[in-house]
Amino acid sequence: SANKNSIKIIGDETDLHAQGYFVYDSKKSGAMTVSHLRFGPHPIRSAYLVGAGDARFIACHQPLFLERHDLLAHAAPGAVFLLNTAEPPERVWATLPLALRRQMVDKRIHFRVIDAYKVAAEADMGRRINTVMQTCFFAISGILPQEEAIAAIKHAVEKTYGRKGRRIAELNFRAIDRTLASLHAVTIPADAALAE
């Protein structure tokens, strides 16, 4: 729901055109949902799926997908890769699969990490991380100035969860307010891809 809200925010708060397409796995447990989001100054008349080499922002919400999927197959050169991980920023590089590290070096990926589960837990949201990851997306993409983006996300949370009770909205607000301090850039060493 956070990615659907992101499309609405982009459409409502900017002059950009936006398109979203979601691919759901038929399995529930351990399944992967892939969100294809496009936005730009002109009407979008593209195929729904983002093609190989076209994605400029890729986020992985579940670290277990690092071993199971080629997450950067669609990444454009210079794309941003956001990873939810409990590994600290200074140690995360060594924990990544070798093939992923090679891709990151070859494609000159900009790497960001957050422990979204920790942020959610500290905000009393359990393991619900969608709002945390959405806040990261807006912070990294720069589509809106930071204060406007935070206000727009909170407004979307209010509309989405307000009917379920004020407490749920407040917990999401708390998570949003804690997110940026936990978002870190990771420097990719040019010669580290081949190191075991």
CA distance 83 to 171: 22
CA distance 152 to 142: 13
Q: Which two tokens stand for residue 96?
A: 């990544």
pLDDT of residue 34: 60
Give the 3-state secondary structure of residue 79: strand
pLDDT of residue 7: 67
Contacts of 141 (CB under 8 A, 6+ apart): 57, 80
pLDDT (tens digit per residue) in 118-150: 999 999 999 999 899 999 998 998 888 889 989
Q: What is the C-alpha R_g of the chain?
A: 17
Q: If you write DSSP's letter for every residue of 24-70 in order, what string do you get?
A: --S-STT---EEEEEEESS-----SSPPTTTEEEEEES-TTHHHHS-
CA distance 170 to 162: 9
With a cut of 70, list the residues of the chain below it in pLDDT: 1-4, 7, 11, 17-40, 44, 46-53, 190-196
CA distance 62 to 147: 28
The sign of the dihedral angle between the CA atoms of 79, 82, 88, 94 is: negative
Q: How would you classify the pairing of strands 17-23 and 110-114? A: unpaired
